[in-house]
Structure 1
Amino acid sequence: MPLHPEPPWSKDHPDGAAHRRTEGHRTLTEAWRERVADAPDSPATVYFDGVMTAREIDDDSDALAVGLAELGVGRGSRVGVHLQNIPQYVLTMLALWKLGATVLPLNPMYRGQELRRLVEDAAPVGIVCADTQVGESRRTLSGSPVQWLLSTSDRDLQSRDDPRVFTPAERSFPSSDGDLVRLIEHHRGRRPPRLELTGEDIALLTYTSGTTGPPKGAMNTHANVLAVTSTFGAYVGLRRDDAVLAVAPLFHITGAVINAALALLHGCRLVFTNRFHPEVVLDAFTEHGVTFTIGSITVFNALSESPRATPESFRSVRALYSGGAPIPPATVERFRERFGSYIHNAYGMTESTSGVIAVPPGEVAPVDEASGCLSIGKALPHMSARAVDPSGTPVPPGAQGELELSGPQVVPGYWRNAEATATTFPSGRLRTGDVAVIDHDGWVYLVDRLKDQINVSGYKVWPREVEDVLHQHPSVHEAAVVGLPDDYRGEAVVAYVSLAAGTTATETELVAFTRERIAAYKRPREVHVVEELPKTLTGKIRRRALRDPDTGTPAGGPRREGGNDT
């Protein structure tokens, strides 16, 4: 009997998805070598007008691996990658994997103590960073385990220099420890010795966002990444002629795995546009014939807000996916009505090596009648998803419980943190902290985070349900609901919204709108209209920032009555 048996609804998976695994490959480097052998001259990366074939990527990552080995990188070493979405990112990833080393993705916006804290925990031997950040990074990391900084310019490997992305700046100089492109040229033609790695070698050491405490490093193994790229790629029917847009940041698990690794190992073109800019991304869709991407809902909201966006912008698309946060049904419908493209929900965590639950391509996700939640999809092949009560006992279909995951996609634990590993992975099963409902057909509905539940006079209120109602208002662009202390009720429901460009809505109007649609105890006592909601750098709304009384104005701007025209 298989360790992770297929659930009854696995017959509904896209054809072949349950069987297209990569048992023949133990490591990511083995899978990459097969891709190169199959089609060495096929385009592998596109960066504005710069195109690199699979053979060129392989040769350059070989040369880079030789250079990194001379800097002391070996099997088990950690190396930080502190870059935007540029081709040098995947060159570095492949080079490190060829050495048996671990990629430490670092948010390029991190500065000071944010960066130092992760570096102290992971102890990387070196960091690859932008040439514009060498001076500041060297000051921040003085006295840390980091022994060297290798720099690169985001203007390299392309010549278009789009002024929307590459703004005029002071001249930057390479790090005294070396420049990535020059290092490749210096070692061109050389190859590192082949290592016999295993699926248990750590490919990525990816840190959680730290929303419930200090960030923890999830140990994403080669086997974990292969499990996700094989199942997700087969699930969405990825083909060799597909163009995958790297719109999710590669320092995040979704970008690193479901954008970068997925495209690299499936023989697709991986399209880079540097940091996210709506108009630049829209141009990339049409210029490069993008067929697949996954990004946060804030990305699709920004695209839909652009006056340049038309149905023609997405004519080449076969599947759009959104992860990071559940999507309100009204948002999905507005996007489809305007552009003709449906945004499929997907769900995953750093600890599950990204996407493990998704809406099958071409299908419309159902809405749970009880909660009003749009389904996040069905568990992918070889992933067991169940809702459990506090004791870990599965609850019946249709009942709420904590979402628990198990399968080859789930990491073995946290880096040097046995206590957190034991708490989060009892018996090897991932306790997600998310409240979910799973119906008889296997559709998963994410109700909310356990820690975000609001208690109003003894009644339970899930912020998600109230937010979905607010999103039905034509003027609401984004919404977030939190519970704040209330002397009479214990907690009061309070909402914060930003408005769509060119629209208006008063706080009184929005309160009245909810009054007509949800039970009295769920209605927000207050609705604050703000310029912008606070978000993480990956686009997730930060409810905790809204609950913090010390933040002053709760959400990035003053309260106001008019429309949001930013």
Structure 2
Amino acid sequence: MSAIKCPWTSLYPPHVAPSLETHPMRAETLTEAWAHRVRDEPDGSTIEYLDLNWNATQVNDLANALAVCFQTKGVGYGDRVGVQLQNVPQFALCMLALWKLGAVPLILNTMYGAHELTIILNDASPVGLVSSETSVEEVTKLDLDGPTPWVLCTDDHDLAQLKRQHHEATPSEEGLVRSLLPHLGSVPEPVRVTGDDAALLTYTSGTTGSPKGAVGSHTNLLSVGYGVQQWLDVCPGEGVLAVAPLFHITGAVATAAMALTVGRAPLIFVGRVRPDSMLCGLRNHSVHHILGSITVYNALLDSPEPRIEDFSGLKSVYSGGAPVPPATVKKFEDRFGHYIHNVYGMTETASAVIGVPLGRRAPVDELSGSLSIGVPLPGLLARVVDPHGHEVETGTMGELVLSGPQCTQEYLNKADATAETIRDGWLHTGDVALLDADGWVYLIDRQKDQINVSGYKVWPREVEDVIYEHSAVREVAVVGLSDDYSGERVVAFVSLQAGKSLTPAEVTSMVRERLAAFKVPKDVFVIDELPKTPTGKIQRRVLRNSHRNVRPRKD
């Protein structure tokens, strides 16, 4: 592994060290890193929500009380507790409290239905669950293989109510806030935790099969935290806006865990993320850093409300979760004055591990037209390999494989899937990419999304990026559908900017002018909204399945 070349370190800005080992705030566990923050900056702003502010001491007192509450319910070292909440301060408190106990937050999407939740809870076997009040009854109805976990419910405004009423909150009897009140001033029994211990359990989206639980250790999460803190140049006191859902790996680690433990930055919550709530956050708080999905930025572009001055205080603007089309980057910069930097990560890498250095612009690969996702962050090694695992020549497409302290070592209860994904110390991402001589990584597409038209390969992103160049286009997804003649045909789904119009013929015409004939969509569907995961990823699989039986258009 020492023989792997790392040309990308020459692209690092001065504030980024090539090695994680030299980070000045190095700690072994998240709990240790958090304790250092409380000790060094007890009065520093730590969580901001609505018009309220909690300093590090206040957050630590609440986390201690919640940890003791969890202990009274039997939570101990290694136990898993589900957290199914929106972006509210209680989410951060749950993570801190569970880490103090050596327990593991199991982060759960708030939009999971009964079927999805049953699969995950049966696999993870959590002893308890923290959720919204509306979800409690649904959990009790699930057909679980083992005991039904206990449930603590909380409302979005419970903690705000507690702070405003000076501990006179009146949530439900089994509510999170009421349950921690008797334990204020208490400290949980100490637990010995190491860097190898589990700190987070996050399930893959299941877009390619049954969801798999990636186990993130304290070392995994801290390595990402240290890398992202340097990459974004987050300094103590600089606000980080929580727009990526905390029930997703990016929000939980690259935003929340980073800001709370190593960034020593105020974590600013705006509740459910919409253009209006984001604007409230930008206008009413000192926000310096944003890391969100491209959907967030598209929503801002689609709204008439934002003004360029709303973004004047920002130091870094990053987008993860899906590749950013060059046309969207240009639109955002033209209107708001900020360049969107790409960042890439996976559930299996505890979020962001590749990104465009702050202050640099991502190059575009001439052949594929792909905007680079960046270069590996400190501590990460990256290669591109062929189907046999052999490294390909520079600039040649293959599978992106990664190695470093950010990468998970296992999927929970799935030894075969672990062995298939992690081979000889390298995490196989399933993403088709190329790596240039300077270390820039270009993500071409997911291997599973490649379209085969009469033996010719079509990468959806190449077609999507061309369509994105039209000013009327808001979002686009290109998929392959079965075709009796060519095996598969290219199909495009397009949603439009508010007040704009575009015909299918215009779409096919502009693609035909730029790309080979076999890459031109045979069908174009203009729809109101593209289906997405709650984290903003467009679901090509949903589009494929819903239009599987649609007959091709006769030209």
Q: TM-score, normalised by structure 1?
A: 0.93
Measured at CA, do residues 33 and 331 of structure 1 come closer, stay the same or move farther in structure 2, by a change above 3 Å? same
Alpha carbons of structure 1 residues 222 and 179: separation in structure 2 relative to 1, 3 Å = same
Measure how far apart 1:397 and its partner are.
1.0
CA distance in 2, matches of 1:430, 1:406: 6
Where in structure 2 are the equivalents of 1:303-318 lying within 5 Å?
303-318=300-315
Q: In angstroms, what is the RMSD of aligned CA positions? A: 2.0
The total of aligned residue pairs comes to 542
Counterparts in 2 of 1:192-211, with a 5 A limit? 192-211=188-207
Task: Name the counterpart of 2:166.
Answer: none
- Kept after mapping to 2: 8 A contact 1:120/1:145: no
* Deviations 1:422-470, CA, capped at 9 Å, x for gaps: 0011112111010001100001100001011111111111000000000
| 1:123-202 → structure 2 map (5 Å cutoff) | 123-140=125-142, 144-158=146-160, 174=172, 178-202=174-198
Q: Which moved more, 1:246-255 or 1:537-546?
A: 537-546
Confirm whether residue 77 of structure 1 aligns to residue 79 of structure 2. Answer: yes
1-side partners of 2:303 and 2:548: how far apart? Answer: 30
The answer as to 2:484 corresponding to 1:487 is yes
The within-5 A match list for 1:23-422 is: 24-140=26-142, 144-158=146-160, 174=172, 178-265=174-261, 266-422=263-419
The answer as to whether partners of 1:376 and 1:445 remain within 8 angstroms in 2 is yes
Please tell me whether the aligned partners of residues 218 and 413 of structure 1 are also in contact (alpha carbons under 8 angstroms): yes
Distance 1:173 1:338 in 2: 43
Secondary structure of the equivalent of 2:514? coil
Q: What letter is aligned with 1:105?
A: I
Instruction: Point out where structure 1 has 5 or more consecutive residues left out of the alignment.
Output: 162-171, 560-566
Q: Contact 1:383–1:407 at 8 Å: present in 2 too?
A: yes
Match of 1:169 in 2: none
Q: Give the deviation of 1:14 after TM superposition.
A: 2.2
> Which one is further off, 215-224 or 56-65?
56-65
Letter matched to residue 301 of structure 2: S
Q: Distance in 2 between matches of 1:24 and 1:360?
A: 22
Q: Distance in 2 between matches of 1:553 and 1:270?
A: 47
Alignment deviations for residues 90-129 of structure 1 (CA, whole Å, 9 cap, x no partner): 1110100000000000111223111111111000000011
Distance 1:475 1:291 in 2: 30
CA contact (8 A) 2:421 2:428 kept: yes
**In the TM superposition, what whole-angstrom CA distance separates every residue of 1:290-331 from its partner, at most 9, and x where no partner exists?**
111111100110011111111111111111110111011011
Cα deviation digits, residues 315-354 of structure 1 (max 9, x gap): 1111111011101101100100011011100000000110
- Structure 2 unaligned segments of length 5 or more: list them: 164-169
Distance 2:442 2:251 in 1: 23
Q: Distance in 2 between the 1:20 and 1:315 partners?
A: 31
CA distance in 2, matches of 1:35, 1:456: 56
Distance change >3 Å, CA 252–CA 549, structure 1 → 2: closer
Distance of 2:363 and 2:253 partners within structure 1: 27
Q: Is structure 2 residue 537 aligned with structure 1 residue 540?
A: yes
* CA drift at 1:159: 5.6
C-alpha contact (below 8 Å) 1:359/1:365 kept by paired residues? yes
CA distance in 2, matches of 1:19, 1:397: 24
Rounded Cα–Cα distance in structure 2 between residues aligned with 1:143 and 1:401: 41
SS in 1 for 2:439: coil
* Contact 2:322 2:537 survives alignment (8 Å): yes
Cα contact 1:545–1:551 (8 A) shared by 2: no
Q: Quick one: distance in 1 between partners of 2:537 and 2:80? A: 27
Higher mean Cα deviation, 141-150 or 102-111?
141-150
Report how far residue 157 of structure 1 moved. 2.6
For the residue of structure 1 that corresponds to 2:159, the secondary structure is coil
Change (3 A) 1:551 1:460: closer
Taking the aligned partners of 1:393 and 1:20, their CA distance within structure 2 comes to: 28
Question: Given residue 406 of structure 1, which amino acid in structure 2 is its aligned partner?
Answer: S
Separation in structure 2 between the aligned mates of residue 458 and residue 223 of structure 1, nearest angstrom: 45
4 and 344 in structure 1: CA distance in 2 versus 1, 3 angstrom threshold: farther
Deviation at 1:8, TM superposition (A): 2.4
SS in 2 for 1:61: helix
Cα offset, 1:484, TM superposition: 1.1
What TM-score, normalized by structure 2, do the two folds share?
Answer: 0.94
1:551 is displaced (CA, Å) by 7.2
Q: Which residue pairs with 2:18 in the alignment?
A: 18
Distance 2:119 2:466 in 1: 39
The answer to whether the 8 A contact 1:476-1:497 is kept is yes
Q: CA deviation at 1:531?
A: 1.1
Equivalent position SS for 1:361: coil
Aligned-partner Cα distance in 1 for 2:355–2:39: 31
Shift of 1:41: 0.5
The one-letter code sitting in structure 2 at the alignment partner of 1:528 is: F
Give the whole-Å Cα distance in 2 for the aligned partners of 1:524 and 1:102.
Answer: 46
- C-alpha distance in 1 between matches for 2:344 and 2:294: 12
Residue 18 of structure 1 deviates from its aligned partner by 2.0
SS at match of 1:157: helix
Aligned to 2:167: none
Determine the C-alpha separation between the residues in 1 that align with 2:43 and 2:19: 28
